[in-house]
Amino acid sequence: MIDMTLAEIAEAMSGTLVLGADGSTAETIVRGISQTDSREVGPGQIFFARRGEETDGHRFAAQAVDAGAALLVVEREVDDRVPQIVVAEATDALGALATEVVRRVRGRGNLTIVGITGSNGKTTTKNLIGAMAERVGATVASEKSFNNEVGGPLTMLRVDDDTRTLVAEMGASAKGEISRLTAMAPPHIGVVLTVGLAHAGEFGGIETTFRTKSEMVQDLPETAVAVLNRDDAYVSKMAELTSARVRWFGLHPEADVRATDIESSAEGTRFTIHADGESLPVFFRVLGEHHVTNALAAAAVGLELGLPLADVVASLEGATRAARWRMEVMGGRDHITIINDAYNASPDSMAAGLRTLAQIARPEGRTVAVLGAMSELGEYSIEEHIRIGLQAVRLRISELVVVGAEARHLHISAINEGSWDGESVFFEDQDSAFEYLERTLRPEDTVLVKSSNAAGLRLLGDRLGEAFA
């Protein structure tokens, strides 16, 4: 974070400064990063005591001070050992401070802000763009999947006067949340990847998802660039909603940055990238043809940042995985490959994962799909789990291992398709599934582990990866 005095921080968040027993004054400078988890606070940092659904950060303020916090942002006074800023609402104060920090750094003219939204692929694309931006200069990118009203501001507060690029995921579970994030850090480049059924239960349908994801491009000024997926019908419609210059990516022949000659294998994906009159071959080690779209989105941003296409390709070829628990290749013993892709799952990404499994399997081995529930689908949940079960059968996946009661419809659907006889098995818990797989996996098998984060199958994937390392 940039240097700011206690008085300036209090003014930015419309709070009341209460000095502590440590001798600080209103002109004392604070430069530490911000935290909302007292267990992660370090010396000189700011602790925001947020109230959540299950706990209250004020209960852990003393722990934060013991860990070295230099400032507490609170809704009531709690610990007089260090300065406190009393605010009406701590989460709003976090956003207000992020807005002011970004405004100051951006005003100095050296900061480019890249915002990324979409139903699938945000984290992968963010990581790819972050690597490209590092070639331009110091870069701050969202950690993990920090893309909401808390994670977004925490990322933004990490920028300082040396930062050249801020790469921020901008997610949403309700209308207006993306607009709130873009108001804090107005993008120079806004990327929209897909509009799908991820979080459909919270949004209330794909049309509402479209309107919500459109908030980013609607908020872009004429001087900005909208990087849009030409292959997605809903994203394509967003070109009509923005005054920014549009740069298309995708497989469509009209895309400004496009790919041809795509070939997938267990080692990665080969394709030819075309942009600005140039064409170059790419060997992209991230598994899955669906990640080519994310690579093209990142390439479009890299070119907008001023990188030549050769540097863009070099950056893509340097990526070895999408992110932790995203198409992460593990295992290896007896040529058994474990693909752990169980951090997020939507109908689109689940279908893409199954297609990848079918494409990259060794001819002498089996394909085994270990699937758990897709969360946040609301009224679409049963229908979409049934559809994935049907797809697994139609792709001729050798065996389906379904884990968890919330995914049972997926198992029943595969059985009812009628083309299998015992190739779909169901387990209530991960331990039972692990014991079964440890006993039955054969040399040359390729295994996909896929579920939403809430289902926790990423941990099962890790266990399998270790067991067959």
Residue list for the binding site: 118-124
Burial of residue 459 (number of CB atoms within 10 Å: 0-12, 13-18, 19+): middle
The rounded distance, in Å, linking the Cα atoms of 312 and 318 is: 10
Upper half-sphere CA count for residue 266 (Cβ side, 13 Å): 21
C-alpha distances out from residue 122 to 202, 206, 330, Å: 18, 18, 23
Alpha-carbon distance of 112 to 78, in angstroms, equals 38
Q: Which helix (H) or strand (E) holds 203?
A: helix 200-203
Annotated binding site for ATP: 118-124
How far apart (Å, rounded) are the C-alpha atoms in residues 297 and 287? 16
Contact 262, 284 (CB under 8 A): no
> Are the beta carbons of 115 and 105 closer than 8 angstroms?
no
The C-alpha atoms of residue 75 and residue 93 are separated, in whole angstroms, by: 10
- Answer for the pair 327, 320: CB distance below 8 angstroms, yes or no: no
Distance CA 97, CA 465 (A): 42
